[in-house]
Structure 1
Amino acid sequence: MSTVVPDGTAHTGLETLYREHSGWLHGWLRQRLNNSADAADLAQDTFIRVLLARTAGTLKEPRHYLATIARGLTIDLYRRRSLESAYLEALAQQPERYAPSAETHAAILDTLMAIDRMLDGLGPRTRAVFLAVQLDGLSYEKTGERLGVSVSTVRKHLARALMHCLLVEDA
């Protein structure tokens, strides 16, 4: 695992940004989340994103930039919790002997999050086509009938979805 070490200029910019805005960001997140621990975690994650993006010294509107990153991280937090809750609910319906190990449980949650990230960037029709073909196992013709589109439209949307998934996975 490599470690990113910012140059002196970037480090100074990040230090100034952190000093001037970390308290505000933590308060802004705490107000929205009603949870100080989650707010502190997301505030730190926000500054880590800034560090990795190396944009600290070039920001014209730092609070807007920080809030935008923090909003995305908040959405990710709620999405992860929602997926985890749905998974645990489904798991509770299964006999105990089928319960996965802690490692398998973590791997399944990570996979669900990756799938969710992939699907999140798709438009509604493209997502519907992708899920109909890949999840429901429908043919292109049946998918077209279900969604009221032509087979060539199904192919186009499926190709777009698969390309998007490859790009997300590659990133």
Structure 2
Amino acid sequence: MSAAESIPHQRAHAVHILYSDHHDWLFGWLRRKLGCAHNAADVAHDTFLRIIASRDALLGVEQPRAWLTTTARRLIIDRARRQALEQAYLAEMALLADSLPFAPAPDETLMALEALAQIGAALQGISAKAREAFLLHYLDQQTHAAIAAHLGVSVRMVQKYLVQALLACRARCAAMAE
């Protein structure tokens, strides 16, 4: 076996060791933190998937439990954001249900929730001011001038923030298409 062929084998072995040595501990930690064995199992699974998917996985990890808990905490935050977004969308749909001539089909609702989750994920990668400008403009329908006054920046800077946000959304869509 050549050196190039042994790298994936070494990586798989390292993941196996990490999993066998720490999965039960991580599951117990998550079960205590989340109070639900099912959610703990899901997050533990997602934690190892994220680690496997990372390019630099297992290179010089000195504290695997710290790495696992950091990854798991980030996944818990992502789940909470998705749930909050979903709840806000469902609450808004409930308010609009009386005024709409028709109710959206469940698949349309799911598509909208997935799109909102992707937008939310894309916006996490930009600055807080750019994110706020995007939300004020596209959700609250505020003008560039009103946003500039609210953020204490120039109208030109608001335009730059909006471009940043739209480019982040575009990049997220392109990454999802691959």
TM-score over 0.5 for the pair: yes
Distance 1:158 1:17 in 2: 42
> For residue 3 of structure 1, what is the aligned residue in structure 2?
none
| CA deviation after TM superposition for structure 1 residue 150, in Å | 1.8
Return the TM-score normalized by structure 2.
0.80
Distance 1:117 1:26 in 2: 26
Specify whether residues 100 and 146 from structure 1 end up closer, same or farther in structure 2 by C-alpha distance, changes over 3 A only.
same
> For residue 29 of structure 1, what is the aligned residue in structure 2?
30
2:71 is aligned with 1:69: yes
Specify whether residues 159 and 86 from structure 1 end up closer, same or farther in structure 2 by C-alpha distance, changes over 3 A only.
closer
| CA deviation after TM superposition for structure 1 residue 58, in Å | 3.9
Distance 2:144 2:108 in 1: 34
Specify whether residues 130 and 89 from structure 1 end up closer, same or farther in structure 2 by C-alpha distance, changes over 3 A only.
closer
| Letter of the structure 2 residue corresponding to residue 92 of structure 1 | A
| CA deviation after TM superposition for structure 1 residue 97, in Å | 6.2
Distance 1:142 1:149 in 2: 10
| CA deviation after TM superposition for structure 1 residue 135, in Å | 3.2
> For residue 10 of structure 1, what is the aligned residue in structure 2?
11
Distance 1:139 1:90 in 2: 23
Specify whether residues 86 and 159 from structure 1 end up closer, same or farther in structure 2 by C-alpha distance, changes over 3 A only.
closer
Specify whether residues 8 and 159 from structure 1 end up closer, same or farther in structure 2 by C-alpha distance, changes over 3 A only.
same
2:147 is aligned with 1:129: no
3-state SS of 2:126 partner: coil
Aligned length: 166
Give the alignment of 1:17-56 within 5 angstroms.
Answer: 17-54=18-55, 55-56=57-58
- Deviation digits for residues 16-63 of structure 1 (CA, Å, limit 9, x no counterpart): 000000011111111111111000011011111111225136422211
Stretches of structure 2 lacking an aligned partner (at least 5 in a row): 1-6
Return the TM-score normalized by structure 1.
0.83
> For residue 169 of structure 1, what is the aligned residue in structure 2?
173
Distance 2:120 2:40 in 1: 23
2:124 is aligned with 1:120: yes
